Amino acid sequence: MAEEVTYNESNIRSLDWKEHIRMRPGMYIGKTGDGSAADDGIYILVKEVIDNCIDEFVMGNGKNVDVSIKDGKVKVRDYGRGIPLGKVIDCVSKINTGGKYDSKAFKKSVGLNGVGTKAVNALSDHFTVESIREGKLKKAVFEHGELIDDAPIESSSIRHGTRISFIPDNTIFKNFKFRGEYVKNMLLNYAYLNRGLKMHFNGEEFYSENGLLDLLKDKLTAEPLYPIVHLVGEDIEVAITHTASYGEELYSFVNGQYTTQGGTHQGAFREAYVKVVREFFGKSYEAVDVRSGLVAAISVKVIEPVFESQTKTKLGSNEVEPGGQSMRAFVGDFLARELDNFLHKHPEVVEPIQKKIQQSERERKDMAGIRKLAKKRAKEVSLHNKKLRDCKVHLNDSRDNERKIETTIFITEGDSASGSITKARDVQTQAVFSLKGKPLNCFGLTKKIVYQNEEFNFLQAALNIEDGIDGLRYNQIVIATDADVDGMHIRLLMITFFLQFFPDLVKAGHLYVLETPLFRVRNKQETIYCYSEEEKERAIEKLKGKPEITRFKGLGEISPNEFKEFIGEHIRLDPVIIGKETGIDPLLSFYMGKNTPDRQKFIIENLKVEKDLVEE
């Protein structure tokens, strides 16, 4: 008989502000994570502090923001008005306290709920705030949100503004590590969206004079087919071009906030762009052809924006302001007027746009028969547990529910490795896709090969990315191969596949490489898994004596019980990041194209045998 559960006054509990944030961090900063993903919580903490600096800049106070990150400690400094000295502690430790409730002062601010900096405080091991205002300084220090030093106000000759420093709590953000590329991208976006603002990060300066025009120039990893179209209006800015790549690449912003998951403004743009192009050419082109190769950015300013989560990654507002014009009409009217006018005045842009549409149309029709047969074959084989062992979220839930849950798919090679991961995985949220041998080097091939090659066709079907990444079934795509030469080669071939045919998936931060331990060091009391020679030496020193040392040569040698350690709470992932310094085409051409003297020289100068790979 089941034990009776009581429910009375003793079950009712009130949490103070910091307890609630620490108990339910996901409500405030999304997923915690270790920093391997751009939307992990440690970056949201940085963003929440910087957002306040940006609001000061927008109000005309301070043109510089200094950010530094070293050994996990974050420092942010602005040169705005400074927090009113008598309210410094309240502003960082009392929910629903802040200046943004005064709508006249912060009409189009990013955040209006008074939570951001409080969440940073509560989720930090150490948090310090200093406000310099009118020749005086107020400082307060917290640990885990608890005030430990309420310093008296003192005179100061330091330049006015606010200084905040914090160290994320490693009991919440386990094994966290800030990745400079993610922080730089965040600061660059702030610069693009706030012309005249100078962002400084660890000695580098980010500044933009041309807004989204500069953003698109920096984001392009392939040659544009025509000069970027840059349109600016009241509370809206758009930049548009095309490349020869597949798919579409969109960057959307609301009140300076990068909405990585899009929202109503991005949907309105996609719809309006197709409508304008169709009407301009007088042809009912398919939307997929009109947007093939499209690279664009849109920024809007909205009064009292409504987001679908505290992290503000997706706009939910259907109106530009409460009771005002719809987002669809606002964006649609702007493009119908400004883009249409631009196209009529610039025939040199019209021709490459039409050629790109027609090329996409031809390729799509040419592949129609192949696609039909390939999709049928993929459904019969890949999605019936012969290639794909899916997670229960996708097998049992509706698509709406799927998208609310973080899911992962491991792409691995070989029966033993696939078997170990399959037995060790979380069947609710983790799927496994098994490769059969080494995949094809697809560099330079057309997308037709995706349908003709069984492995690629099955994988595309499993991911549901045939018509773009809007329907992507997994948040994280993880390449899981051995750390030997063959494993490295398979890893490179899979990365080439995604970069060649689905570059937008990589740029959106969905592709990762699984780190697996090279060594197990243990004695009777403790077991330590090590991912490098240095970690092994530290483990030997920690365990003392003569601990047992095991070298893992391949994924198949790791037992399912041990695998749970590496693909669960302590998973280590390396994100595949494409830097702006090197375009995708030159990158793939150098590493995956025909052998050249330059590549031969590179290989000789960087030659490593398997022994070297093991010892690194």
Instruction: Tell whether 11 is covered by a domain.
Output: no
CA distance 540 to 544: 6
The CA distance from 571 to 573, in Å, is 6
Same domain, 238 and 310: yes
Q: What is the pLDDT of residue 614?
A: 44
Distances (CA, A) of 524 to 500, 521, 562: 49, 11, 16
**Residue 33's domain is classified under what CATH number?**
3.30.565.10
DSSP tag of 99: G
Pair 576, 587: CB distance under 8 Å: no
Please check whether residue 92 is in contact with residue 142, taking contact to mean a CB–CB distance below 8 angstroms: yes
- Domain termination residue (choose one: 366, 385, 405): 366
Check whether 408 has a pLDDT greater than 50. Answer: yes
Domain assignment of residue 66, yes or no: yes
Q: What is the pLDDT at residue 104?
A: 45
Q: Which residue has the higher pLDDT, 583 or 62?
A: 62
Structure tokens that stand for 248 in this block: 């579409």
Reported pTM: 0.81
- Write down the pLDDT at residue 313: 77
How far is Cα 85 from Cα 103, in angstroms, rounded to an integer?
Answer: 21
Residue pLDDT, tens place only, 135-162: 999 999 999 999 999 999 999 999 999 9
CB count within 10 Å of CB 608 equals: 13
CB 21 within 8 A of CB 118: yes
Laid out side by side, the sheet with 294-300 consists of: 229-233, 236-242, 294-300, 249-254, 257-258
Nearest Cα neighbor of 29 from 305, 218, 311 is 311
CATH code of 427's domain: 3.40.50.670
In a 3-state reduction of DSSP, which class is residue 192? helix
398 pLDDT band, cuts 50/70/90, is: very low
Q: Is 364 helix (H, G, I), strand (E, B) or coil?
A: helix
Residue 217 has pLDDT above 90, yes or no: yes
Taking 70 as the threshold, does the pLDDT of residue 112 lie above it? no
User: Higher model confidence: residue 450 or residue 101?
Assistant: 450
- Same structural domain for residues 261 and 358? yes
Can you tell me the distance from the alpha carbon of 604 to that of 596, in angstroms, rounded to the nearest whole number? 12
Regarding whether 374 and 336 lie in a shared domain, the answer is no
pLDDT at residue 590, rounded to an integer: 64
The number of domains in the chain is 4
* Strand, coil or helix: 64: strand
Choice among 13-17, 342-346, 538-542 with the minimum mean pLDDT: 13-17
The pLDDT of 178-189, averaged and rounded, is: 93
| Residue-level pLDDT at 455 | 87
User: In this predicted model, what pLDDT tens digit does every residue of 298-339 receive, in sequence order?
Assistant: 999 988 888 776 667 788 878 888 788 899 999 999 999 999
Q: Is residue 356 part of a domain?
A: yes
Kindly state whether residues 587 and 510 are assigned to the same domain.
yes
Q: What is the DSSP letter of 606?
A: T
Same domain for 183 and 227, yes or no, is: no
Within-domain flag for 8: no
576 pLDDT higher than 50:
yes
Q: Are residues 547 and 557 in the same domain?
A: no
- 223 Cβ contact partners less than 8 Å away, ≥ 6 residues apart: 243, 244, 583, 585
pLDDT over 50 (residue 370): yes
Q: Are residues 340 and 456 in the same domain?
A: no
Nearest in space to 172 (alpha carbons), one of 209, 212, 123, 205 = 123
Angle among Cα 407, 409, 414 to the nearest 5 degrees reads 160
208 by DSSP, 3-state: which? coil
168 within some domain: yes
Which of 206, 234, 267 is the last residue in one of the domains?
206
**What's the CATH code of the domain at 348?**
3.30.230.10
CB 235 within 8 A of CB 320: yes
Q: In the predicted model, is pLDDT for residue 383 greater than 60?
A: no
User: Poorest-confidence range of 28-32, 96-100, 300-304, 595-599?
Assistant: 96-100
Residue 123: what pLDDT?
Answer: 94
> Locate tokens 């596949």: which residue?
497
Reported as a pLDDT band with limits 50, 70 and 90, residue 505 is very high
Which of 179, 206, 233 is the endpoint of a domain?
Answer: 206
∠ CA 528-530-532, nearest 5°, is 160
Residue 38 lies in a domain: yes
Comparison of pLDDT for 182 and 399, the residue scoring more: 182
Q: How confident is the model at residue 545 (pLDDT cuts 50, 70, 90)?
A: confident
Kindly tell me if the per-residue pLDDT of 600 is higher than 70: no
How many residues are present in the chain?
Answer: 616
User: From residue 192, how far is each of 27, 94, 410, 482 by CA, in Å?
Assistant: 29, 32, 35, 41
Mean pLDDT of the chain: 85
CB 311 within 8 A of CB 110: no
Distance CA(423)–CA(226), nearest Å, equals 51
Cβ–Cβ < 8 Å for 529, 520: yes
> Does 7 reside within a domain?
no
Q: State the pLDDT at residue 382.
A: 53
Q: What is the pLDDT, as a whole number, of residue 404?
A: 59
Q: Are 481 and 488 in contact (CB under 8 A)?
A: yes
Residue 442 CB neighbour total at 10 angstroms: 22
CA-CA distance, 556 to 434, in Å (whole number)? 13
In one-letter notation, the amino acid at residue 589 is S
Domain extent at residue 120: 17-206
Residues 500 and 442 in one domain: yes
Averaged pLDDT, 543-553: 87
Residues 266-293 pLDDT 10s: 999 999 999 999 999 999 999 999 999 9
* Residue 403 confidence (pLDDT): 47
Residues 51, 67 within the same domain:
yes
State residue 602's pLDDT score: 60
Q: How far, in whole angstroms, is CA 97 from its chain's centroid?
A: 30
Q: Are residues 248 and 361 in the same domain?
A: yes
CA distance to 172, 217, 242, per residue, from 213 (Å): 39, 6, 14
- pLDDT above 70: residue 52: yes
Output the pLDDT for position 611: 46
DSSP for 246-271, written as a single string:
SS-EEEEEETTEE-TT-BHHHHHHHH
- Please determine, for residue 420, whether its predicted confidence score (pLDDT) is greater than 80: yes
Is residue 45 within 8 Å of residue 119, measured between CB atoms? yes
What's the confidence (pLDDT) of residue 307? 77
Q: Considering only residues 66 and 33, tell me which one the structure prediction assigns the higher pLDDT.
A: 66
Say if CB 241 and CB 226 are below 8 A apart. yes
61 vs 43: CA distance, rounded Å: 24
Percent of the chain surpassing pLDDT 90: 46
Query: Are residues 226 and 202 both part of a single domain?
Result: no
Q: Are residues 258 and 355 in the same domain?
A: yes
